[in-house]
Amino acid sequence: EDKVVQSPLSLVVHEGDTVTLNCSYEVTNFRSLLWYKQEKKAPTFLFMLTSSGIEKKSGRLSSILDKKELFSILNITATQTGDSAIYLCAVDGNNRLAFGKGNQVVVIP
Amino acid sequence: DSGVTQTPKHLITATGQRVTLRCSPRSGDLSVYWYQQSLDQGLQFLIQYYNGEERAKGNILERFSAQQFPDLHSELNLSSLELGDSALYFCASSSREFSYEQYFGPGTRLTVT
């Protein structure tokens, strides 16, 4: 069975801090790893990673995948209160997405 | 707004009952995915339909069933409801048969009392 584990489950930071979120996985027929941001509503897509060692960036968010060690990191720099959300990691294997339980990030002013 | 609509927004019902959740995909999308999100299990894939046909099945209970209609909207039927079925049910859609780029609807919150 596909397994996705995220850590930490929850963290609280001050505005301006840097956050590092971890996602480790075990999946057969790995195709890609995805990060989503979920605020009060539905998850919204952030990144898809397929190759090891190549960083994807979008503004203050960046992510990298290590296919040898089977993990990914999502970094958020200079955090803002609008970054408060649950960040979901999902792995695409066998044409279906397996999600982790999420990293809940709370950014306080 | 992702373009995916789900009704109803909230649903409260008693154990043993049956409910139907409805999803309309984004215009032009042929694939519909159903997910269940609960506090202890996280977001779990239930089932996928593509152009009216079942394409993939995840952790969907036998008490649950789904279908996709010719106009591409989809319904998820949950029967013999138990307290543990209380969760947020998301529908997502994509244009291709399988795509990581899935657009999620706002969800239906089901509470079983």
Indicate if the pLDDT at residue A94 is higher than 80.
Answer: no
Residue of chain B whose alpha carbon sits nearest to that of A48: B100
* ∠ CA A68-A70-A72, rounded to 5°: 115
Indicate if the pLDDT at residue B83 is higher than 90.
Answer: yes
- Mean pLDDT of the residues in chain A: 92
In a mutational test of the B interface, the residue from A2, A39, A41 whose CB has the highest number of chain B CBs within 10 Å is: A41
CA gap B111, B113 in Å, rounded = 6
Count Cβ neighbours within 10 Å for each residue of B18-37 and write b for 16 or more, e otherwise. ebebebbbbeebbbbbbbbb
Terminal CA-CA length for chain A: 41
Instruction: Give the pLDDT confidence score for residue A51 in this predicted structure.
Output: 80
Indicate if the pLDDT at residue A93 is higher than 90.
Answer: no
Instruction: Give the pLDDT confidence score for residue A53 in this predicted structure.
Output: 82
What's the rounded mean pLDDT across residues A39-57? 87
What is the identity of the amino acid at A53? G
Q: Does the distance separating the beta carbons of B48 and A41 come in below 8 Å?
A: no
- A29: contact with B, CB 8 A cutoff: no
- A3: contact with B, CB 8 A cutoff: no
Instruction: Give the pLDDT confidence score for residue A26 in this predicted structure.
Output: 93
Instruction: Give the pLDDT confidence score for residue A29 in this predicted structure.
Output: 85
Query: Tens of pLDDT along B49-70?
Result: 999 999 989 889 999 999 999 9
CA gap A82, B33 in Å, rounded = 28
Terminal CA-CA length for chain B: 31
Query: Which has more confidence, B79 or B39?
Result: B79
Peptide bond preceding B106: is omega within 30 degrees of 0, i.e. cis?
A: no
What percentage of chain B has pLDDT greater than the value 90?
81
Range in A25-34, A59-68, B14-23, B96-105 the model is least confident about: B96-105
| Confidence bin at B1 (pLDDT 50/70/90) | confident
Question: How far does CA B66 lie from the centroid of its chain?
Answer: 8
Question: Residue A75 in contact with residue A52, Cβ under 8 Å?
Answer: no
Q: Does the distance separating the beta carbons of A48 and B100 come in below 8 Å?
A: yes
* ∠ CA B79-B80-B85, rounded to 5°: 80
Indicate if the pLDDT at residue B47 is higher than 80.
Answer: yes
- Mean pLDDT of the residues in chain B: 93
Contacts of B90 in chain A (CB under 8 A): 42-43
Beta strands of chain B (E only): which ranges? Answer: 5-7, 10-13, 19-24, 31-38, 42-50, 53-57, 64-68, 74-78, 87-94, 103-104, 108-112
What's the rounded mean pLDDT across residues B28-44? 91
Rg of chain B in Å (alpha carbons): 13
Q: Which residue reads 């089977």 in tokens?
A: A70
Indicate if the pLDDT at residue A46 is higher than 80.
Answer: yes
Instruction: Give the pLDDT confidence score for residue A92 in this predicted structure.
Output: 86
Instruction: Give the pLDDT confidence score for residue B12 in this predicted structure.
Output: 95
Query: Tens of pLDDT along A49-80?
Result: 988 888 899 999 999 999 899 999 999 999 99
